[in-house]
């Protein structure tokens, strides 16, 4: 199946997925799952079925898209939204309801978090409405059920669960008051008619989506997002996507950890509730030798797993996650790039995605001279772990080498903040 690119092309055309952003192993695994769903079916027979059946097309998309979300993910985004919303209502003299869009909305945690944040900030139900869209009908249906397990509730502050949910056995059902604020529907961001008859939104959440697209698709999607957002509106994105928006004419509103952007030239949409102590920008320079190890003597993982003068031979086999992770580090430290990459792909076939694996793939691509592929892997690592220090540093170096000084500086600042936080925690 490695040489059969038709399934990759189908997903690219249908949902804009760039195979390099997730790796071929994840897509191949999804295709295999759908093929064996009916015993005896060959790959060619499945391909014919895929062309003729809308239900099977949705099923394959469902198999590729594995939602990883929870309530109030990136909490500063919701705190910033609440302050912006209060300010926005004053600016429009309370003459209409605020409009908020969440896409992809996945299984509902994000749009419902938006609703809870605004209600808790004192907004009345008639003062805002939220639209949630996702390409996955199954995800939208789960969102409509509004019943969630413990995995959707993470972090130390779960007071919102007491205010807005009712426990029912091992799960929690969202209150009707919150559900009524959100309209859910199936929609594809690549559809040029998406929400064509709707007025633009004051706030748009589109997080951790652009990193899965190639550059032409990113530009196409960005134009759709601009159409959907008010001229003076605010776009909330994922932590790994800031440099992308910077190149496309957006600027950060300046609130740390909010990942909120406005159009260039628009006035700052929200003042800080308290003075922000921003870190001194780090100088942008060519990547230091330790950032991208030299190809002649690759030892990119020495800081994590130093090797002895005679490292043991490690085969990238076995189903245990920790052993496989250790084998990746040892293979990479030994300069066995091809074997290390194979071990990474083996891990992704057998286990849940992990930031460190995508970081390793990024370094291996960097060393092989595949800058665009490396950039995609680094962004995937940052999607799974926004403060992954090594991925931040190496992606910053890569952007700097490509002439994107602003994007590199933003990542360097994030890496510096991450380092200061780690040092503070170690001193406790």
Q: Specify the 3-state DSSP secondary structure of 424.
A: helix
Q: Cα torsion for 167, 173, 176, 181, to the nearest 10°?
A: 130
Contacts 24+ apart (CB under 8 A), 29-32: 29/349, 30/60, 30/63, 30/64, 31/1, 31/7, 31/60, 31/63, 32/1
Q: What domains can you pick out in the chain, each with its CATH number?
A: 6-64 (no CATH), 75-263 (3.40.50.150), 321-427 (1.25.40.10)
Number of residues that make up the chain: 428
| Whole-angstrom distance, CA of residue 341 vs CA of residue 365 | 9
pLDDT of residue 316: 44
* Cα 298 to Cα 286: distance, rounded to the nearest angstrom: 19
- Tens-level pLDDT at each residue, the chain (428 residues): 444 789 988 888 888 887 766 677 788 888 988 888 877 788 999 999 999 888 788 788 777 876 678 999 889 999 999 999 999 999 999 999 999 999 999 999 999 999 999 999 999 999 999 999 998 888 899 999 999 999 999 888 899 999 999 999 999 999 999 999 999 999 988 887 899 889 999 999 999 888 778 788 888 889 899 999 999 999 999 877 777 787 788 888 988 878 899 986 555 454 444 333 333 333 333 344 334 343 333 333 333 333 333 444 444 444 588 889 888 887 876 567 788 899 999 999 888 889 999 998 988 887 776 778 888 899 888 988 888 888 888 887 777 656 677 777 788 777 766 655 554 555 55
Which 3 state secondary structure label does DSSP give 322?
Answer: helix
Nearest by Cα to 176 from 145, 151, 150, 149: 145
Task: Provide the pLDDT for residue 157.
Answer: 87
Question: Are residues 300 and 393 in contact, defined by beta-carbon separation less than 8 angstroms?
Answer: no
Both tokens of 407, joined, read 């994007």
Q: Phi then psi for 320, rounded to 5 degrees? A: -75, 130
**pTM over cut 0.75:** no
- Output the pLDDT for position 14: 82
Tokens of 327: 């084998």
Is the distance from CB of 364 to CB of 352 less than 8 angstroms? no
**Residue from 175, 76, 90 nearest 127 by CA:** 90
What is the rounded CA–CA span in Å between residue 217 and residue 210?
Answer: 8
Q: What is the pLDDT of residue 352?
A: 87
The C-alpha atoms of residue 21 and residue 35 are separated, in whole angstroms, by: 23
Give the burial class of 400: count Cβ atoms within 10 A of its Cβ; 0-12 exposed, 13-18 middle, 19 or more buried: buried
């Amino acid at each position: 199946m490695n040489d059969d690119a038709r399934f990759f092309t189908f997903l690219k055309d249908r949902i804009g997925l760039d195979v390099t952003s997730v790796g071929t192993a994840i897509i191949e695994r999804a295709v295999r799952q759908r093929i064996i769903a009916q015993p005896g079916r060959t790959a060619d027979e499945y391909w014919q079925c895929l062309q003729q059946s809308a239900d099977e097309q949705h099923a394959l998309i469902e198999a590729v898209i594995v939602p990883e979300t929870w309530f109030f993910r990136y909490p500063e985004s919701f705190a910033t939204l609440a302050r912006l919303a209060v300010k926005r209502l004053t600016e429009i003299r309370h003459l209409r309801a605020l409009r908020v869009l969440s896409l992809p909305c996945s299984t509902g945690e994000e749009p419902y978090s938006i609703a809870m944040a605004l209600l808790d900030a004192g907004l009345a139900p008639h003062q805002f409405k939220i639209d949630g869209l996702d390409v996955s009908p199954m995800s939208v249906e789960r969102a409509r059920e509004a019943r969630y397990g413990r995995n959707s509730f993470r972090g130390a502050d779960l007071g919102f669960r007491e205010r807005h949910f009712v426990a029912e056995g091992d799960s929690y059902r969202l209150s009707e008051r919150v559900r009524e604020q959100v309209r859910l529907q199936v929609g594809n961001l690549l559809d040029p008619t998406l929400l064509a008859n709707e007025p633009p939104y004051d706030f748009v959440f589109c997080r951790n989506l652009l990193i899965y697209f190639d550059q032409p698709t990113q530009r196409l999607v960005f134009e759709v997002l601009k159409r959907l957002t008010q001229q003076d509106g605010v776009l909330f994105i994922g932590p790994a996507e800031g440099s992308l928006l910077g190149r496309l004419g957006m600027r950060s509103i300046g609130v740390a950890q909010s990942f909120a952007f406005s159009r260039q030239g628009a006035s700052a949409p929200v003042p800080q509730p308290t003075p922000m102590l921003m870190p001194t920008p780090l100088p942008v320079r060519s990547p230091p030798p330790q950032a991208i190890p030299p190809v002649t003597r690759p030892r990119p993982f020495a800081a994590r797993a130093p090797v002895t003068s005679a490292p043991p031979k490690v085969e990238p086999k076995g189903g245990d996650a920790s052993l496989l992770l250790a084998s990746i580090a040892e293979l990479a430290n030994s300069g066995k790039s091809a074997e290390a990459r194979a071990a990474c792909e083996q891990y992704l076939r057998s286990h849940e995605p992990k930031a460190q694996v995508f970081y390793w793939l990024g370094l291996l691509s960097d060393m092989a001279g595949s800058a665009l592929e490396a950039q995609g892997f680094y962004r995937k690592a940052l999607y799974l772990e926004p403060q992954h220090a090594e991925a931040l540093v190496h992606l910053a170096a890569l952007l700097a080498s490509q002439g994107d000084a602003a994007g590199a500086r933003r990542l360097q600042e994030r890496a510096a903040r991450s380092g200061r936080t780690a040092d503070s925690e170690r001193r406790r």
